[in-house]
């Protein structure tokens, strides 16, 4: 019997288990007459210390994020409140990804999740619910460990958050596969020794993961 190369599969949540929040941002931008990818552009400026980064580390609350994001947007030439961005942040669940979680667990793989989220609201990218009957919480319950940036005080792509997960799992990075929809978040995982998969769609993610593990997923 050959030794399996990987022991654990670590997932991002928003944009992997659920649809990408960028799709929701684009719809908001179109509705407001804003340039496409305007929200991403605002969040890409000063990425470690802007309103979004500080909110995901729970250094500021919702009201302060609302005002700070609005100021950053105005500096880029357009009016957009932070609260309006948060209102569309939650994505829709990809059922095939949820099925894949169950298939992976049945095949003996350990499952974990590292998510950048904010400490307010509810949904992908937002705070978690305490209600175990909640649909998203039922998905989170499939993971052995979940690290949330808003609780850990550190966010991707900081390498520390990936090492925190490895410590929780008791595994070396090389024993882990990591999936994220942002290349900037995949790079530190790969540098640490994980097998990183950049997710552009649910179908692509499952195809790539199936190929790596030799399983038919989804």
Count other Cβ atoms within 10 Å, centred on residue 3: 4
* 197 pLDDT more than 60: yes
Give the predicted TM-score (pTM) of the model: 0.89
Mean pLDDT of the chain: 94
CA distance 39 to 203: 26
Q: Supply the pLDDT for residue 122.
A: 79
Here the tokens at position 51 are 């309103």
Tell me the chain's radius of gyration from C-alpha atoms: 17
Q: Of the candidates 137, 182, 189, which has an alpha carbon nearest to the alpha carbon of residue 16?
A: 182
At a CB cut-off of 8 Å and minimum separation 6, what does 55 contact? Answer: 62, 65, 118, 119, 150
pLDDT tens per residue across span 15-35: 999 998 899 999 999 999 999
Per-residue model confidence as pLDDT tens digits over 42-87: 999 999 999 999 999 999 999 999 999 999 999 999 999 999 999 8
**pLDDT per position as a tens digit, 137-161:** 999 999 999 999 999 999 999 999 9
- The yes-or-no verdict on residue 120 having pLDDT over 90 is no
| Res. 2: pLDDT tops 70 | no
- For the segment 120-129, the average pLDDT, to the nearest whole number, is 80
Q: Is the pLDDT of residue 123 over 80?
A: no
pLDDT at 42: 98
């Amino acid at each position: 019997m050959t030794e399996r190369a990987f022991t654990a599969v670590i997932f991002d949540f928003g944009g992997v288990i659920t649809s990408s929040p960028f799709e929701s941002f684009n719809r908001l931008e179109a509705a407001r007459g804003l340039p496409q990818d305007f929200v991403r552009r605002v969040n890409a400026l000063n990425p470690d210390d802007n309103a979004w980064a500080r909110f995901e580390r729970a250094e500021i609350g919702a009201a302060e994020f609302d005002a700070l994001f609005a100021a950053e947007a105005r500096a880029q030439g357009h009016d957009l409140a932070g609260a309006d961005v948060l209102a569309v942040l939650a994505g829709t669940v990809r059922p095939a990804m949820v099925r894949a979680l169950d298939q992976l667990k049945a095949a003996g793989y350990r499952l974990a999740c590292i998510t950048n989220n904010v400490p307010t609201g509810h949904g992908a990218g937002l705070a978690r619910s305490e209600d175990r009957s909640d649909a998203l919480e039922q998905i989170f319950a499939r993971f052995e460990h979940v690290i949330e940036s808003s609780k850990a005080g550190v966010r991707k792509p900081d390498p520390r958050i990936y090492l925190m997960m490895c410590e929780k799992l008791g595994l070396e990075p090389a024993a882990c596969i990591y999936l994220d929809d942002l290349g900037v978040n995949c790079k530190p995982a790969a540098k640490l020794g994980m097998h990183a998969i950049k997710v552009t769609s649910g179908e692509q993610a499952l195809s790539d993961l199936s190929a790596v593990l030799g399983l038919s997923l989804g």
